[in-house]
């Protein structure tokens, strides 16, 4: 999103929009300031870019009215550049948004998932004059997954450390990545749950360690796991009655990018398995709240191993 907006600003500056005014939008924002800015025309001023940076994808009624009022009498002296977190489907389909979109250009920036990160990095490295070995790209992917800003910074650092002449191709091997690139990978609890559902226990443990180091409260992680288990229960029941897995996921509105993870879980998991996992989760909840002496992080790690289908030698007794 940062690079997309940089390109837009560059183009607008070339078209004469030399001034820029920025508004950070939150619930306390006074939309009268925006209305005053777009209403303050001057015969001697340059064209202006007005940036609205939303902290939330939810737009208050006052904001909707202010934007619609501007569009009703839009001035060629201004371009409104709006950035926000992901807009959900309900917002995109509202009558109000459809009216706004008719007078706008909508650019949606989609996250680069793990499967596409290797190719993205490869293209990025080539564009910066770096020719990387396949293992080097794999290691770099692991170190910056979920953090594209860190990826760009690490590539710049590799380029600077190479001391190469302009136009010279830089060779990058896995040894250099291990020595130079910091581990800046960033994950969410959703990455954690999907990794476990896919049976990738190693990645799930890595993500859990990263979330712990970020200071995520264990109850947040446990809540995501139990929510997923409860959503799986009715789907597993339908499977036990002979329904097709793809049809089950379709009727349960499983997102396309999660069908592989959920589909594997439906193939490998029984209702009894889920109830056992939920029982373990209940005991972990007690340990987080100080009602048992067990280490909640160790128990969440064990729960994820079970969810991934790993058979453990023994079960930790929670007391």
Please state the domain extents for the chain: 2-102, 114-180, 189-307
pLDDT level of residue 92 (50, 70, 90 thresholds)? confident
Residue 184's alpha-carbon distances to 46, 93, 208, 246, in angstroms, are: 42, 36, 14, 36
Q: Per-residue pLDDT tens for 227-246?
A: 999 999 999 999 999 999 99
Give the contacts of 213 (CB within 8 A, at least 6 positions apart).
none
Do 248 and 241 meet the contact criterion of CB atoms below 8 Å apart? no
Extract the runs of DSSP E, i.e. beta strands, from the chain.
Answer: 19-25, 48-54, 78-83, 130-132, 170-172
- Structure tokens that stand for 129 in this block: 């004059």
Enter the DSSP assignment of 257: G
The C-alpha atoms of residue 54 and residue 68 are separated, in whole angstroms, by: 16
On the 0-12 / 13-18 / 19+ scale of CB atoms within 10 A, 259 is middle
In this structure, the strands spanning 19-25 and 130-132 are unpaired
**Residue 234, CB-side half-sphere exposure with 13 Å CA sphere:** 8
Contacts by 269-274 with C-beta closer than 8 Å and gap 24+? 269/232, 269/236, 270/236, 270/240, 271/233, 271/236, 271/237, 271/240, 274/229, 274/232, 274/233, 274/236
CATH code given to domain 189-307: 1.20.272.10
Q: Is the predicted pLDDT of residue 256 greater than 50, yes or no? A: yes
What pTM value is reported for the model?
0.61
Q: Per-residue pLDDT tens for 263-277?
A: 999 999 999 999 999
CA 278, chain centre distance (Å): 27
The C-alpha atoms of residue 215 and residue 222 are separated, in whole angstroms, by: 14
pLDDT of 45: 57
Q: Name residue, tokens 């959703």.
A: 190
What number is the average pLDDT over the span 188-196? 92
Question: Mean pLDDT across the chain, nearest whole number?
Answer: 88
Which CATH class for the 2-102 domain? alpha beta
Q: Is the predicted pLDDT of residue 316 greater than 60, yes or no? A: no
pLDDT level of residue 220 (50, 70, 90 thresholds)? very high
Q: Is the predicted pLDDT of residue 314 greater than 70, yes or no? A: no
What number is the average pLDDT over the span 239-254? 92
The full DSSP string for 24-35 is EE-TT--HHHHH
Enter the DSSP assignment of 173: -
- Structure tokens that stand for 243 in this block: 């329904």
> Is 114-180 a CATH 1.10.8.60 domain?
yes
- Structure tokens that stand for 306 in this block: 């079970």
- Structure tokens that stand for 105 in this block: 């250009």
- Structure tokens that stand for 36 in this block: 């005053």
Q: Which of 2, 49, 58, 1 is nearest to 25 (CA)?
A: 58
**In angstroms, how far is the first alpha carbon of the chain from the final one?**
49
Q: Is the predicted pLDDT of residue 164 greater than 80, yes or no? A: no
């Amino acid at each position: 999103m940062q690079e997309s907006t940089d390109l837009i600003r560059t183009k607008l500056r070339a078209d004469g929009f030399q001034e820029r005014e920025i508004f950070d939008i939150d619930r306390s924002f006074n939309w009268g300031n925006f209305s005053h800015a777009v209403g303050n025309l001057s015969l001697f001023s340059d064209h202006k870019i007005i940036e609205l940076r939303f902290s939330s994808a939810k737009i208050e009624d006052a904001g909707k009215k202010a934007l619609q009022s501007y569009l009703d009498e839009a001035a060629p002296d201004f371009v409104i550049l709006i950035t926000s977190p992901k807009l959900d489907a309900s917002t995109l389909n509202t009558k109000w948004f459809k009216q706004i979109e008719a007078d706008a250009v909508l650019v949606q920036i989609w996250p680069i998932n793990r499967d596409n990160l290797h190719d993205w990095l490869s293209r990025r490295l080539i564009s910066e004059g770096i020719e990387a070995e396949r293992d080097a790209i794999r290691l770099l992917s692991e170190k910056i997954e979920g953090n594209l800003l860190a990826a760009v910074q690490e590539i710049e650092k590799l380029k600077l450390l190479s001391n190469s002449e302009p136009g010279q191709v830089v060779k990058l091997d896995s040894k250099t990545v291990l020595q130079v690139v910091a581990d800046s990978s960033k994950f969410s609890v959703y990455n954690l749950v999907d990794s476990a559902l896919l049976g990738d226990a190693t990645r799930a443990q890595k993500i859990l360690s990263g979330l712990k180091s970020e200071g995520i409260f264990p109850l947040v992680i446990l809540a995501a796991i139990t929510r997923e288990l409860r959503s799986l229960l009715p789907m597993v029941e339908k499977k036990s009655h002979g329904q097709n897995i793809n049809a089950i996921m379709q009727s349960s509105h499983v997102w396309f990018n999660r069908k592989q993870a959920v589909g594997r879980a439906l193939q490998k998991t029984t209702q009894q398995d889920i109830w056992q996992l939920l029982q373990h989760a209940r005991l972990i909840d007690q340990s987080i709240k100080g009602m048992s002496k067990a280490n909640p992080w160790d128990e969440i790690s064990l729960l994820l191993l079970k969810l991934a289908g790993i058979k453990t030698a023994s079960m930790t007794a929670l007391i």
